[in-house]
Chains A and B, each alone.
Chain A
Amino acid sequence: MLSYVLRRIVQSVIVLVGALVISFLILRIVPGDPAVMMLSDLATPDEIARVRIALGVDQPVWIQFGIYVKQILTGDFGVSYRSQTPALSLVLGYLPATFQLAVAALLITIGISVPFGAVAAVRKGSWIDNLLSGLALIGQSVPVFWLGIMLILTFSVQLRWLPTSGRGGFLHLVLPAVTLAAAQVALVARIMRSSMLEVIRQDYVRTARAKGLSEKVIVMRHALRNALAPVVTVLGLQIGNLLGGAIITETVFGWPGAGNLLVNSIGARDYPVVQTMIVISALIFVITNLIVDIIYVMLDPRVSYD
């Protein structure tokens, strides 16, 4: 196990370096100029040139890359062009809001999709199963943007139960978390259902039944645990989506998270901030997948990485 983890950490570093290089290059290939975005349209070409020098974007790309690598190695992610403050602390300041939203959405996803997916599988073909399939279809096809606005209009404007937007207490979290979770719930519930269907056809479930165990014990103790393995894998991958998909949700709900920062920073061609965010996202992705693989072993002792 330990050697596996070490191997994975080495792989993770390679992934991170790849993310760093690719993000650096893509940002330079996409048309755009931070100096132009920062100055108003009244700036003369000479003034634009001076700001380019001050920001260091007048240098050839490979020199900029060299400076960037040197910075990263010293734990310095550069200075945001837009706010002229260190990019790393800027990004870290936005992360708690993003995590709060992602965790809330994840809890909703697990809390709804696992039991409902399992019930749908056990009662295959019943009205509950059909209802859940229908809801899952809707959940996956409704655009996040539209769902968010509809929830705001219903619960904030008409009923006035919940605030329209912003980050504050628990009530502020409800609508954005539900919006963000909707598509995930649909996806995970369907995977849970098919995984459960697969499991309850297995020999050991038949054996359990033959032993005379109650249906409840069979489902809860034998089937569920085994059916969860693919769900955990998907959830691990979805964490990346929760952080990425949060961009639209954060915009609709004025949620002060990293998605908002990313959109604004790309718009302003604030390279240091975008690069920092990509490296941190890659890091989170790599770590969650590592954790998922470890949970896998715990769920299914037959899996071994040695």
Chain B
Amino acid sequence: MLSKSIHALGLVSGLLLSSTFLSPGSAVAFDLSVAAGADPTTLDPRKTWVAQGYSINAHVFEPMFFRAEKDGNVVIEPILAESWAQKTPTELEIKLREGIKFQNGEPFNAEAVAYTINSIQDNKFVTNLKLWTRDITSVEVTGPYTLLLKTARPTRGLLNVLAQVPIVAPKAAQSPDFEKKPIGTGPYKIVSYVPSGQVVIEKNHNYWGKPGEADKITFRIMPETSTRLAALEANEVQIADNLPPDKLPALKANKNLQVVYTPTLRVDYLVMNFRNPLMQDRKFREALSLAIDRQGIVDNLLGGTTKAANSISPPGTIGYAADLPVYAYDPGKAKALLAESGYKGQVLKIGGPVGRYSMDKQVTEAIAGMLQAIGVNVEVETLAFSSYMAKYNEAAYDLAFIGQTDFTINPQKHWGTLFQSSIDINKYSNPEMDQIIEAASSELDDAKAAELFRKGQSLEHKNFGGALPLYYEPQLIGLGSKVTNFSPRLDEYIIVDTVKLKP
């Protein structure tokens, strides 16, 4: 695997470099093309919910804080914010960077931030981003560049959720053109957008931070994997996103291509349905876990592009317990435990999506085979993601495959829907885990929160409750041979402003 360098977000290192230093035209001009696997659907960053939309928007918009990677851990760094202070357990004061202008000349200030958050929270505005702003009860503009965010109770990870809130230019955002030609503060601005065709962005010459390398970047929408690969081979694009691990041998064999991959913050789980009385028995759950050859799946189906799970948290998140061993594979012991549990051959229904996660259908079928091998009767159903999610949300399966990521790197968010009895649709209930998640949600001290997260991971490592982690969803990206300075990110974003091309 390519070692991952710290992804120096242009924005962050930009603090050190005056933009006048690197006047436009000082470097050799070049354009970049990226093959994107899906249409962003809308370019209004407040409405985006497609991965490719997040990636494209990250070049045009900036949040107050954003994720960067340091030594394999995700850290939150200020971008449009300059400093912050937790005034009281429920009040966060943010001081913004001054002298920044939006791409249309509108000033960036506290009003713009307040407008962005308020518009997302507006009842009439339908957006996924509400999930991230749900803890904020009010946004007070206390000065031209200062804000006070209030929450109903002490809220862990408020800075982290703000990383998901790109700040938009208030005047421009009220125009109907904003869908296709939105305005942010980022190093690139939108030139044109053909839905399901391409998005073209060009360098923002008035950018306040370190400018991007390429003059123009074209994101070409190519839903078909083989087409993205062909375009890469034909050098029509220099970067191709979202390639499946079964293409790895072909990519490695081609001397004109490079390939980078990384495990991500997404944990792929097998979720257990506790409505089925069998699941209430810890021995039965342990037998299921022991039957699954996680390393075998990683090596054979995922081409070794990621690592088998040792924890319900992904590496890089706060309090990740690196010292826990990978969940064991021992079919002999699994059979013995199954016998002890009094399992009488009841059929378990296993569900999985098709084409949503890397090799998801194949992994679901492989797991079904592994469970059959220890004597569990299974019935497998794999469906297109949209049909699958409907059934998943009705808790229609005894065992269900799902990948969950938490951009906030505070796992209480993604643990909630799997391990917290009050919101788990699969009715898992463990008072100790409930108490850990509850306590972590309002714990503002990082060290104490990390301790709680470690406790939760080792608890479920022994208890096999809620959901069995399988591995961390890999991300595979193909690059042309001339591409340098590109790093895959744990958060699955594809950010290419730092990319250079070798002559």
Q: Which residue of A lies closest to B33 (CB)?
A: A166
Contacts of B385 in A (CB 8 A): 267
Q: When the two chains form their complex, are residues B390 and A153 in contact, meaning their CB atoms are under 8 A apart?
A: no
Which residue in B39, B198, B224, B234 is a CB contact (below 8 Å) of A252?
Answer: B224
The answer to whether A264 and B236 touch across the interface, beta carbons within 8 angstroms, is no
Q: Which residue in A83, A94, A153 is a CB contact (below 8 Å) of B179?
A: A83
| A38→B42 CA distance, assembly (Å) | 13
Q: Are A44 and B223 in contact (CB under 8 A)?
A: no
Tell me if B126 counts as interface (CB < 8 A to partner A): yes
The answer, among A43, A55, A84, A254, for a CB contact under 8 Å with B47, is A84
A259 (CB) vs chain B CBs: closest residue:
B196
* Chain A residue contacts of B406, Cβ below 8 A: 42
Could you say which residues of chain B place their CB within 8 Å of the CB of A84? Answer: 42, 47, 126
Known contacts A82-B42, A83-B41, A164-B234; is-contact A41 B224 (Cβ 8 Å): no
Q: What's the Cα separation between A254 and B194 when bound, in Å? A: 12
Please, which residues of chain A bring their CB within 8 A of the CB of B49?
A: 38-40
Chain B residues with Cβ under 8 A from A261's Cβ? Answer: 195-196
Q: Say if the beta carbon of A283 comes within 8 Å of chain B.
A: no
Q: Is the CB of A253 closer than 8 A to any CB of chain B?
A: yes
Shortest CB distance B460–A (Å): 18
Known: A47-B130, A165-B220, A254-B223. A264 touches B196 (CB 8 A): yes
Contacts of A251 in B (CB 8 A): 223-224
Residues of chain A within 8 A (CB-CB) of B390 are 31-33, 36
A117-125, A155-163, A189-197: which one contacts chain B? Answer: A155-163
A41 vs B223: C-alpha distance in the bound complex, in angstroms?
A: 22
Q: Does B322 contact A (CB under 8 A)?
A: no
B414 sits at the interface (CB 8 A)? yes
A269 to B390: give the CA distance in the assembly, Å: 10
A37 surroundings in chain B (CB, below 8 A): 386, 389
Question: How close is A82's CB to chain B, nearest CB, in angstroms?
Answer: 5
Question: How many residues on chain A are close to B (CB under 8 Å)?
Answer: 54
- Least Cβ–Cβ distance between A26 and chain B, in angstroms: 13
Contacts A42-B404, A84-B42, A149-B226 hold; do A93 and B134 have CB atoms under 8 A apart? no
Query: Is A81 located at the chain interface by the 8 A CB criterion?
Result: yes
- Interface presence of A45 (CB below 8 A): yes
A152 contacts the other chain (CB 8 A): yes
Assembled-state Cα–Cα distance A31/B351 (Å): 14
Q: List residues of B (208-267) whose CB comes within 8 Å of A's CBs.
A: 220-224, 226-227, 230-231, 233-234, 236
Known: A39-B131, A42-B131. A83 touches B42 (CB 8 A): yes
B5 interface hit (Cβ, 8 Å) = no
In this assembly, does A30 line the interface, its C-beta being within 8 Å of a C-beta of chain B?
A: yes
Partner of A43 from B41, B42, B131, B403 at Cβ < 8 Å: B131
A268-B386 contact in complex given A38-B128, A42-B131, A166-B198, C-beta closer than 8 Å: yes
Distance in Å: Cβ of A10 to nearest Cβ of chain B: 36
CB distance A41 to B41 under 8 Å? no
Interchain residue pairs A-B with the least CB separation, the first 3: A256-B197, A31-B390, A256-B196
Q: Give 26 pairs: A residue, B residue, CB < 8 Å, sorted on A.
A: A31-B387, A32-B390, A36-B389, A38-B49, A41-B402, A42-B416, A43-B131, A43-B417, A44-B416, A44-B417, A44-B423, A54-B123, A82-B41, A83-B42, A84-B47, A94-B195, A163-B236, A165-B227, A165-B231, A166-B220, A252-B227, A254-B221, A260-B39, A261-B195, A263-B223, A266-B386
B contact set with A: CB distance below 8 Å: 38-39, 41-42, 47, 49, 123-124, 126, 128, 130-131, 134, 179, 194-198, 220-224, 226-227, 230-231, 233-234, 236, 384-387, 389-391, 393, 402-404, 406, 413-414, 416-417, 423, 425
